Amino acid sequence: MREFDFLVVGSGIAGLTFALRAAKAGTVAVVTKKESMETNTNYAQGGIAAVFSPDDSPQCHMEDTISAGGGLSHPEAVKIMVEEGPSLVDELYRLGTHFDVKGQVGNDKVVFDLWREGGHTRRRIVHAQDHTGEEIEKTLVERVAELPSVSMFENHLALDVRGGGGGGCRGGVIFDTESGEIEPFFAKITLLATGGVGQIYLHTTNPMIATGDGIAIAFRAGAKIANMEFVQFHPTALYLPYTKGRKFLISEAVRGEGAILRTQDGNTFMEKYDERGCLAPRDVVARAIDMELKKRGEEYVYLDLSPIPPHRIKEKFPRIYETCLELGIDITKEMIPVVPAAHYLCGGIMTDIDGCTSIPGLFAAGEVAHTGVHGANRLASNSLLEALVFSKRAAQKAIEEVKNKTASVVGDVAIPEYGKEEKERVFLAHECKEIKRIMWDYVGIVRSDERLEKALCRLSVIWRDVEDLCGCCKPTREIAELRSMATTARIVAFSAMLRKESRGLHFNVDHPERDDVHWKKDTIITKEELR
């Protein structure tokens, strides 16, 4: 049994920003499934959107965000993000994050080198070449490691939260994946910052750990979950048929610098789908590519970087250049084969503007949370900004609550009953592959009523099998992740089936029009609706 003031599940930008601030007010446990650097944050290439240019403004950033959000963005949350974001990006720089800069004004003000990406009407993407997320993650890991009040538990994962419902959350049930031991971690405040759900899809840019753990845990505890049908597919992931797991992402900033999408016969096509062409928002570009691939019976399109000078490519996109070169593609001379891949979840655990979920004592921040900022479609490079702003606000609120909770939260130390049987890995691998294939074929970029009904029917069978499995088998990382995948896949399919329209990232051929009369609202569910 362990007791802390704050329990943080996840070690991306949201979890570490929260921990960095909460550590000033009490003891913090950070639980992370792998090494602390293995997060979605680490793979964010493009950058972090914030207003720094003289020709830009928070109002302009807000308008771009709401425009991309398809009418479902919450204006209050967006306003908070765009106004509070720049100072927090400055703070990251002062903490040691090596963003690219053009120069310095005075003693303490820098001029950031700003990129532009699809959906943005101004250059406002602060970046560290093309590995911004990795640079931010590295800085936060280093700063958190300096704090004696923070304990990092690598190779640990949360199986469930303790408490829930009217009694509130009092920590979590934590599994040590190396020793196999299960231990209760009691905490006055618990933050879920576990990232997204990309691994429920066949093709994804997310790391192997993105299995939807936090959403599944919160759902089982009775928390409200919102807008899970809005899964963003990044339009340009590197297509190589022999790669497995995470697809290498080709940053949207490449198109921002002038790269052009072409079909395999060399023709451009984006102008047929949107007047903004290759700079249209991600959902438009991903759907256009998907339609071209289906129409032509091909597996990929090309991204042509020839409009960008070779020296500029190497200077601005060194990671993309080096990785592609290692895989046999010289992007200064050859086009890149690309395909859409599941990239980001716009829905998640429903929170208010301070990160509070519907369960007292349980907070959420980052991709796992639904703040209302992204609406039906996330604007490029708003993900890191949202995580930064709302994890800061969650920490401030959590610190206030901890001050009011002077008594210990330690209660019954009994561990919930888990099974003792072993299970062959072939069974787990088969169920995992089936979830991925069902989600890709039936709950992907383009959907239909029939596909969604079939998906939900089959996923419900898998979910029941996996729940039975969890009741009889002793916990392993594979079983815990499969349980999360089965739960979150079912929630995504159910949410998509409920929404009888097409909006943002959710496109249904049986309901191709946007319907503001009936569906200009969030899709909110709990476990009571999905039994």
- The per-residue pLDDT for range 18-71, each reduced to its tens digit, is 999 999 999 999 999 976 445 555 555 568 999 999 999 999 999 999 999 999
Q: Which amino acid makes up residue 10?
A: G
CB 66 within 8 A of CB 78: yes
Q: Exposed/middle/buried for 273, CB within 10 Å: 0-12, 13-18, 19+? A: middle
Band the pLDDT of 495: cuts 50, 70, 90: very high
- pLDDT computed for residue 203 by the predictor: 87
* Best CA proximity match to 212, nearest among 228, 236, 232: 228
- Axis-axis angle for helices 75-95, 132-145 (nearest 10): 70
Average pLDDT of the segment spanning 65-87: 97
Amino acid letter, residue 95: L
User: Above pLDDT 90, what percent of the chain?
Assistant: 76
Contacting residues for 216 by C-beta, under 8 A, at least 6 apart: 483, 484, 487, 488
Q: Please report the pLDDT score of residue 380 as a whole number.
A: 86
Question: Which of 29-38, 132-141, 174-183, 215-224 is least confident?
Answer: 29-38
Query: Bridge partners of 385?
Result: none
Q: Where is average pLDDT lowest: 97-106, 284-293, 451-460? A: 97-106
8 Å CB contact between 19 and 142: no
Whether 458 shows a pLDDT value over 70: the answer reads yes
Convert the pLDDT of each residue in 149-163 to its tens digit.
999 999 999 999 987
Query: 392: phi > 0 → left, psi -120 to 50 → alpha, else beta; which?
Result: alpha
124, 246, 255, 282: the catalytic one is 282
| CA distance linking residue 82 with residue 60, whole number of Å | 9
Tell me what pLDDT residue 471 has. 79
Separation between Cα atoms, residue 276 and residue 116, nearest integer Å: 13
User: 282 an active-site residue?
Assistant: yes
Q: What is the CATH number of domain 2-152+344-404?
A: 3.50.50.60
Task: Determine the Cα–Cα distance for residues 287 and 509; give it in Å rounded to an integer.
Answer: 12
| Least confident piece of the model among 44-58, 242-256, 418-432, 451-465 | 418-432
Domain boundaries, the chain: 2-152+344-404, 238-342
Token reading at 412: 């019954």
The per-residue pLDDT for range 220-277, each reduced to its tens digit, is 999 999 999 999 999 999 998 765 667 888 988 899 899 999 999 999 999 999 999 9
Nearest to 120 by CA among 179, 39, 62: 62
Residue 4 has pLDDT above 70, yes or no: yes
Top-tier CATH class for 238-342: alpha beta
Is residue 401 within 8 A of residue 188, CB to CB? The reply is: yes
C-beta separation of 202 from 440 below 8 A: yes
Task: Name the pLDDT band for 409 (thresholds 50, 70, 90).
Answer: confident
